[in-house]
Amino acid sequence: MPETQAQPAHSVHVDLGSRSYRVDVGRGLLKNLGAVADERFRERKACVVITDSKVGPLYAATAVDSLKAAGRQVTLITVPSGEASKSLIVAEQVCGEMARGGLDRKSFAVALGGGVIGDLGGFCASIYQRGIPYIQVPTTVLSQVDSSVGGKTGVNLPDAKNMVGAFHQPAHVIADIDTLSSLPKREFNEGFAEIIKHACIRDAEMLPLIDEVASGIGDLAELIRRNIAIKARVVEEDEFETIGTRALLNFGHTLGHAIEAAAGYGQMLHGEAISLGLRTAAVLSARISGLGQGDVDRIIALLKRFELPTVLAPGFETEELLRIARMDKKFDQGRIRFVLLRSLGDAFVSKEVVEDHLREALAAIRS
């Protein structure tokens, strides 16, 4: 790819007291990684860059060269791309390579890749030597607007997504918009499920900008920044999901995660499963909390603009999806903490949803 001059970043501050950090959004920012390391970790001279087999060949050299130019000793670890790498087995392998590379408690990590790498790299940083700091460098729409911010790290169990993990905030996030240009269209589009989710729960006025980006005339960098700001404000209000505000980010995720697991991790992209979850949550919102049918239709129309699925395929059995959903962290002693909408931009956590509601909604999205 042709080299792009780094443009001044639009920064979003995540205010978490001693765990606060900055998210830089702009173009050509990856080459600033070494300067960020100097800013955040002046005394830490050894580091690891964790990436995958798709992202590594594109961007690892730029990241490693920038770190080396800043005087860092760099260990590069590359795992196979895909959701299967988000596992305890791969986490153990990564930590083993970190140990063989001589990293100690005064080292730091860089997670260079999409959501899988961000979650895996952050998790390894959280447990290695009982915790070392790390920088997130998300390279997909999905990871830039969602998983790179907030400190949720973790890996999957065979039947349950994100079941093993830790809250471990990054020290810094670099969202380089240029890295999105190498994404296949399907992977680019999946990130808009989370963008549409953010608009639904917090910022209905963002919907026209999403439409503009879908038409190729909108400012993608501004849309990314605006979504990061939404995520940052929610995380600031409820970092550890203790008061319920952060649970709003789970809109569309209760059944979305179940659909993703039932498909077999890696068979359906995360954003594609969440798209189906968003339609399900919209249907339930119309049924229970008075969301207007026009708002439901608008959500579905936006998902379709990014070629995201809105109809559940016949192979997904309702009772199997409910079995998987029961293992989700959002099920609390048999009760479902389900996020619903009163209107676009106005979300809340409901305890009125029962399994029969989920059966009805799943039936509704089969056509």
List CB contacts of 16: < 8 A, sequence separation 6 or more. 169, 235, 236, 239
Structural domains of the chain, count: 2
The amino acid that residue 359 corresponds to is R
What pLDDT score does 1 carry?
A: 37
What does residue 234 show for φ and ψ, rounded to 5 degrees?
-65, -45
Residue 163: CATH number of its domain: 3.40.50.1970
Does residue 120 share a domain with residue 223?
A: no
The amino acid that residue 135 corresponds to is I
> 146: helix, coil or strand?
helix
Among 152, 182, 212, residue at a domain's last position: 182
Calpha distance 280→141 (Å, rounded): 23
Domain that holds residue 288: 185-364
Does residue 253 share a domain with residue 230?
A: yes
Residue 283: CATH number of its domain: 1.20.1090.10
Task: Identify which of 333, 244, 331, 348 has the alpha carbon closest to the alpha carbon of residue 290.
Answer: 348
**Structure token pair of residue 237:** 């209000």
What pLDDT score does 242 carry?
A: 87
Does residue 238 share a domain with residue 174?
A: no
The owner of tokens 């000793």 is: 73
- Cβ–Cβ < 8 Å for 57, 120: no
The amino acid that residue 93 corresponds to is Q
What pLDDT score does 4 carry?
A: 45
Task: Tell me if 5 is assigned to some domain.
Answer: no
Does residue 232 share a domain with residue 116?
A: no
The amino acid that residue 214 corresponds to is A
The conformation of residue 1, written as its DSSP 8-state character, comes to: -
Does residue 206 share a domain with residue 105?
A: no
Does residue 276 share a domain with residue 128?
A: no
**Structure token pair of residue 90:** 């791969």
Among 182, 209, 231, residue at a domain's last position: 182
Strands 160-167 and 172-176: unpaired
Among 165, 182, 199, residue at a domain's last position: 182
- Cβ–Cβ < 8 Å for 269, 82: no
The conformation of residue 169, written as its DSSP 8-state character, comes to: -
What pLDDT score does 253 carry?
A: 95
- Cβ–Cβ < 8 Å for 296, 283: yes
**Structure token pair of residue 187:** 């992977």
Does residue 213 share a domain with residue 132?
A: no
What pLDDT score does 243 carry?
A: 87
Does residue 192 share a domain with residue 245?
A: yes
Strands 108-113 and 134-138: parallel
Does residue 292 share a domain with residue 204?
A: yes
- Cβ–Cβ < 8 Å for 346, 289: no
Calpha distance 49→56 (Å, rounded): 10
Task: Identify which of 50, 311, 302 has the alpha carbon closest to the alpha carbon of residue 170.
Answer: 50
Task: Tell me if 1 is assigned to some domain.
Answer: no
Calpha distance 177→291 (Å, rounded): 34
Task: Tell me if 276 is assigned to some domain.
Answer: yes
What pLDDT score does 332 carry?
A: 65
What pLDDT score does 329 carry?
A: 63
Per-residue pLDDT of the chain (367 residues; tens, 9 = 90+): 334 446 556 899 999 999 999 999 999 999 999 999 999 999 999 999 999 999 999 999 999 999 999 999 999 999 999 989 999 999 999 999 999 999 999 999 999 999 999 999 999 999 999 999 999 999 999 999 999 999 999 999 987 889 999 999 999 999 999 999 999 999 999 999 999 999 999 999 999 999 999 999 999 999 999 999 999 999 999 999 888 899 999 999 999 999 998 998 778 999 999 999 999 999 999 999 999 999 999 999 999 999 999 999 999 999 999 999 988 766 666 668 899 999 999 999 999 999 999 999 999 999 9
Does residue 221 share a domain with residue 178?
A: no
Task: Identify which of 244, 241, 270 has the alpha carbon closest to the alpha carbon of residue 257.
Answer: 270
- Cβ–Cβ < 8 Å for 101, 48: yes
Task: Tell me if 75 is assigned to some domain.
Answer: yes
3-state secondary structure 266-292: CCECHHHHHHHHHHHHHHHHHHHCCCC
Does residue 200 share a domain with residue 173?
A: no
Task: Tell me if 168 is assigned to some domain.
Answer: yes
Does residue 110 share a domain with residue 222?
A: no
**Structure token pair of residue 217:** 């005339």
Calpha distance 162→183 (Å, rounded): 24
